[in-house]
Amino acid sequence: MKRFVFFVSGMAFILMGAVFASCSSTQFKSSKKKIEMQGNPTTGYTWDYTIEDESIIRLEQKTKYLGSRNMSGAPSLFTYTIISLKPGTTTITFEYKRPWEDKPAEDTTIYTVTVDERGKITL
C-alpha cells in the first residue's frame, strides 16, 4: 500500500491506495485451440456440433479433402478452431451422421471446454 501526499490551498491530504504492477493484472485475451476429426463427407457423413453455452466460445470449421480426384468414399479432415470469448466452462458435442437420416449418430464425441480469466482454453 502506498501513500500519496498532495497539497490543495496549503492543506495536506493523504491519499492511500494500492498500486498494481502491470504484471499482476489479468486481462482477458482471446485464444484459439484446434480439434481435428476425420470423416467421409463424400458418402454423406459429416460432423454436426452443438455448443452448450455459445457466449463462452465459438467455432470455425474447415474441411480438407484427403482423397485424389474427388473419389467417393475418400476421407476428409475436419478442423475445428475453438475461439475463447469469455471465462467459463461449456461442452461441445460432435455427432458423426448423415444430416437427413432420422437415426442415432454413428459416433459421438464430447469435449468439456474451460476458458480461464486470461482467455486460455483447456480441453
**pLDDT value at residue 5:** 47
Task: Tell me the sheet residues that pair with 61.
Answer: 80
The per-residue pLDDT of the chain, averaged, comes to 84
All three cell numbers of 93, joined, read 458435442
CB 6 within 8 A of CB 15: yes
- H/E run at residue 116: none
Grade residue 10 by pLDDT with cuts at 50, 70 and 90: low
List CB contacts of 29: < 8 A, sequence separation 6 or more. Answer: 118, 119
CA 115 to chain centre: 7
Q: Among 98, 115, 116, which residue's Cα sits nearest to residue 51?
A: 115
Share of residues in the chain with pLDDT > 70 (%) = 79
Question: How far is the C-alpha of 71 from the C-alpha of 56, rounded, in Å?
Answer: 39
CB 92 within 8 A of CB 121: no
- What pLDDT digit, counting tens, does each position of 28-70 carry? 999 999 999 999 888 889 999 999 999 999 999 999 988 777 6
**pLDDT value at residue 103:** 94
**pLDDT value at residue 1:** 47
**pLDDT value at residue 33:** 98
pTM comes to 0.75
**pLDDT value at residue 43:** 86
